[in-house]
Structure formats: C-alpha cells, structure tokens
Amino acid sequence: METLLIALLAGIGFVVAYHTYGRWLGSKIFRLSADAVCPSKRLEDGVDYVPTRKSVVFGHHFTSIAGTGPIVGPAIAIMWGWVPALLWVVFGSIFIGAVHDFGALVVSLRNNGQTVGDIAGRLLNKRVRLLFLFTLFMALTVVLAIFGLVIAAVFKQYPAAIFPCVVQIPIAVIIGVMLHRKGGELLLPSLLALGVMYITVIFGDRGFLGDFNATLAAWPIWMWVIVLLGYSYVASVLPVWTLLLPRDYINSLQLISALVLIVLGLFVAAMFPGEGQELAMVAPTWDLNPKNAPVIFPFLFITIACGACSGFHCLVSSGTSSKQLKDEPDARFVGYGSMLTEGFLATLVIVACGAGLGLGMMKDGVLLTGDAAWAAQYGDWMAAKALGAKVGAFVQGSANFLQSLGIAAPVAIALMGVLVASFAGTTLDTACRLQRYVVQELAATLGGKVGSEGAQPAAPFALLQNKHGATIFAVVLATAMASIPQGGAEWNLANAGKGGLTLWPLFGATNQLLAGLSFMVIAFYLWRRGRAIWFIVIPMLFMLVMPMWAMLHQLFVAPGWLKAGQENYLLGGIGLATIALEIWMIIEAARLFPKAKGVLEESLETPDLRPNTEG
C-alpha cells in the first residue's frame, strides 16, 4: 500500500501544481495571450514553422525531452534511497524543471522561435550569445555521438523491441503525408499505428519477426551508429509534419498507454498480491554511502536530470516546439505540463526499481525476490551505473507490474523495451534537428549571414547555413566522435561506435549548467519588462551552483581528472573550459543586470506583429 500511495500522491501533486502554480506563471508572470500571433503562423514555411494542435506538439515535446533520461537517472540515483530521489523528482519538476521548460518556450515564442542561445545575444550581449552557442554545440555533439550507442545497447538487450521501433517509421510517414494532403485528425490513425506496434510486440519472437529481430540484434555497434545517425539526418531535414510530429505523437500515445498499464499493474500488485509476492519498497529509505558511490550532494542533482530538471529541455522548447505552437496559451500545457508528466514517469521508475524489482528477477538462472533481488542489482554503484543495469532494473520492475495484470513475461518485458528504445530514438532525431539550428546560427555569426547586405560569407560558412550542409556536418562530426575507441582501446571495428562514452562523464554537469544559463536568459527577459523574478533566481542559482560543484569534484577529487598521477587531460581540459565559460557568462550577466531593469532589448530584424502584451 505504501508503494501505491507514493505514486498516487505524487500524481495528485503534479495535477495540483499544474492548475495552481502553472496557471499563475502563465497568467500573471508570462501573461499568455490568445490574441498573440505565434511564430508558427507569422513565419510559416511548411518545414520548421508549422502551426500545430497542442496535443500533437505535446506528443513531440514530451517524447523529445524524455528520451531515456527520466529512466536511467532515477534508476541509479535510487541507490542513495528512494526518499531523496523522490523529493528531487517531485519538487524539482514542479518548481525548477517545469518552470525552466515553460519559460524557455515562452521566451522563444516571443522571439520568433529563436533558440535560447540566439536570444541570449539580444537579452544580454553578443559575447554571451557566442559562448552559449558553443556550449550548446558541444552538448549536442555528445548527445548525437552517444545515443546511437544507447539505442543499439537497448536493442541488443531486448531484441523484441527492434521491429516495433522500425515499423513505426514508415507508418508515421504515411500518416503524416496522408493528413497533410487530405487533412483530418491524427488521433485515429495514430491509435491504429499503435495497435500495429503492439501486435508486432506480442508476436515479436515468432517466425519472420523473430528472425528479423535476431538478425538486427546481431549487428555490431558501429553499424547501428551509422544507420541511426543516417536516419537522424533524414528525419531532421524533412518537414516536421512528414515524420517528426506523427512519430512523436504515436510515441506519446505509447507512453500514455504504458503509464496506464504500469499504474494499473501497480494497483493490482499492491491490492491483490500473489502468493509470496507482497509489494513493498526493497530500496533503502536513505543510504548516504552506497558502495563505491559518489557523495549524494551534489551528484544527486546531476544524476537525476530529465526527471527533475534538464538543460537539454530548453533546446527542445526553443528549438522545435516554439516553431509549432499555434496559440500562445498552449505553452502552459506543452511546456509546464510535459515536464510534470516526465516527473510522474520518473516517479514510476523509482517505484518500479525500488519495489517492482523485488517481485522477482532472474540472476544466473536463479529467481531472486525481495532484498535479494535488490542486492543483486544494486550491490555496487560501479555495476549498477552501467546502461544495461539501469535500463534492466526499470524494465524488469515495471514488467513485473504488467505481469500482475496477466500479461505474459516476455510480452511485458518487450513492451517496456520498446518504450525505452522509442524514447531514445525521438531524442536522437530531435537533437540532430537542434544541432542543425545551432550550426546554422554559428555559421551566420562567424562568417556573416547569407543574403545580408555587404560581403557574402566564405563558401564553408555559406554551406553551413544551408540545412543540408549544417545537418551533414553535425552527423559526420558525431560519427567521427563515435568511431574513436573508448579509453585508448585498439582501433578496430569491434571497438568502433563507443567513442561518445569518452566525453559522456562531462555531460551530466554540463547539461545541468545549461539549465542554469537558460534560467539566466529567462530572468533577463522578465527583468527587462519589470516582472517578478524571485521564482526564477532561486532555481537559477541552484542550477548554477550544484553542477559547478559536481564538475569541480570530478576535476580535483574523484575521479580526479586533474589530480596528480591520474590525469585525464581531455576531460580535465574540457571541464575547466566549461567552468570558465560559465563564469564568464555569469560575470557578463552580473555587470549588465543593474542596468537592464525596464530597458527592452533591441527589436528583432523580422517584425513582431503580435499585439502589445508585454506590459
């Protein structure tokens, strides 16, 4: 019963927050107006700027920000205890993460759908813009290099998930093209597509489907990385209505159905336990010193990112979602609501790993339950933090809930495997589209904008402002990084595809620092308009201090990238550069802050035709 109450109370808390704090932010602080003309209508081009219903944008936005983040983060952070993990997820989502995502979306809506990095140049100054864009470029390069590996690892661990994830791509294209030409509702064809996916899951280990999955699961990592990055190129240059929106909408329906199944399974497991299967938290309430784990402060706050607050989300809010919303009030549903939904998913991950796992897991051919199952999965931080272990804990725990509904174990595990792989796929292609925007902005800044008055940019800069040139550059760079063997291993095909892991240890702190910097841009937007900013400043300081503390710990304490005798100059150098960039941007902001109150930034080159709702 305790486990069921945790999920129910968290869910109720998120609903209440949406209708109270979220409503206050939308009406009193951001002052959303139904009369505003959104960028999707004012700059409609049929490719990136496409007016879209809020339910569809929600599907794209949510699946893009979620990825595997709200699964792998809580699945490892629960080692410090389910209470600290749950507190950070619930309160972080409501007061930090959702505010961050909502704010970035609104600021981008009011600035022609520009990215947060571009907006920083006008709200602060041009130096900050360039520093911000370089930070985004580095972070997205790591995401692209690593997520092909993530998806490949999930497919190898759960082969039954391969065909359902592959088949949704042509189905999404068919739906997107059909609706674009003939109009109509997206819900019914998406539900049919979801049904097809679930049928392929149920029969995924039989006949042709079983052979197909087994063949692709045997592919080496490098082949998967190339195929997936090639797919992300195609997905990111196509008009959003062709593949991105319908596929993400299908995935959002898949997530909602999976959440419903998990909650129903949790209810049945709690209220009607099977013989010898009492549902209870086997995770510790608190454990400040798990074996080989880093210190809980500050690492809890960079281990759980997407489930509470993540800097990557500002890229989705300002990179794609702001170009698709057709009505300004929809921003609360998409920006604030998506983050709360992700917080609820992270809550279910904590419950699945902390209690569901105790219902049973196989280890070396032996069925383990209760504390034995927990000890086998979480006895050592170094073993538990591996991708397979983190994903496996959630998949097994949530599949146990589904089995309480009478769903066969192989089908339950495959359903959860499809969920994880689909989320990772949406993050990959959205990240590629976002990187394209960043590359184009950097090329225009460094080489001059194509078509502007005066001298035209040199050929390389002109090419990188073209969507195909920018996307190819992003994909080739990520492929090159992925091809580098990890940790100085021998150069061969067996080791290729894992190079993204080299820089991955930097991503947690860098990603959270990005959230702090994004808060800074939102704060300046409000400050220049004489609005209240106290609710932004506190989260901003928190998301600047905690990641910097974590980065300094990694540099000089453990793993000690700059400690004598165990130097890692690549990670240490990039870590120091990241801290220097952050300090530089903070100094620039601090110098400007006293002068900026009530002083509106320079107007956009493209006329803003909205009614004046800024007062």
Exposed, middle or buried by CB within 10 Å (0-12, 13-18, 19+), for 46? exposed
Angle at 306 between CA 300 and CA 307, to 5 degrees: 70
Task: Give the Cβ contact number of residue 529 at 10 Å.
Answer: 17
Q: What are the sequence ranges of the domains in the chain?
A: 2-106+145-483
CA dihedral (376, 381, 383, 389) positive or negative: positive
pLDDT of residue 612: 33
Closest CA relative to residue 418, chosen from 164, 218, 64? 164
Q: In this structure, are strands 366-368 and 361-363 parallel, antiparallel, or unpaired?
A: antiparallel
Distances 49 to 35, 43, 416, 462, 500 between C-alpha atoms, Å: 19, 6, 33, 22, 31
> Omega of the bond prior to 559 within 30 degrees of 0, cis?
yes
Closest CA relative to residue 353, chosen from 266, 264, 293, 423? 266
Distances 117 to 109, 132, 591 between C-alpha atoms, Å: 14, 5, 19
Phi, psi for residue 363 in degrees, rounded to 5? -140, 115
The pTM of this model reads 0.93
Closest CA relative to residue 39, chosen from 244, 324, 237, 316? 324
Alpha-carbon span 356 to 279, nearest angstrom? 7
pLDDT of residue 85: 98
Alpha-carbon span 266 to 263, nearest angstrom? 5
Lookup: tokens for 230: 């090639």
First-to-last CA distance in the chain? 50
Q: Is 144 helix (H, G, I), strand (E, B) or coil?
A: helix
Give the residues of the chain that fall short of pLDDT 70.
Answer: 276, 452-455, 605-615
The secondary element (H helix, E strand) that includes residue 368 is strand 366-368
Alpha-carbon span 136 to 609, nearest angstrom? 29
pLDDT of residue 131: 84
pLDDT of residue 34: 95
pLDDT in tens, 410-434: 999 999 999 999 888 888 988 999 9
Count of residues making up the chain = 615
Lookup: tokens for 363: 């280890």
Alpha-carbon span 21 to 67, nearest angstrom? 26
pLDDT of residue 610: 33
pLDDT in tens, 136-189: 898 899 889 888 888 988 999 999 999 999 998 999 999 999 888 888 788 889
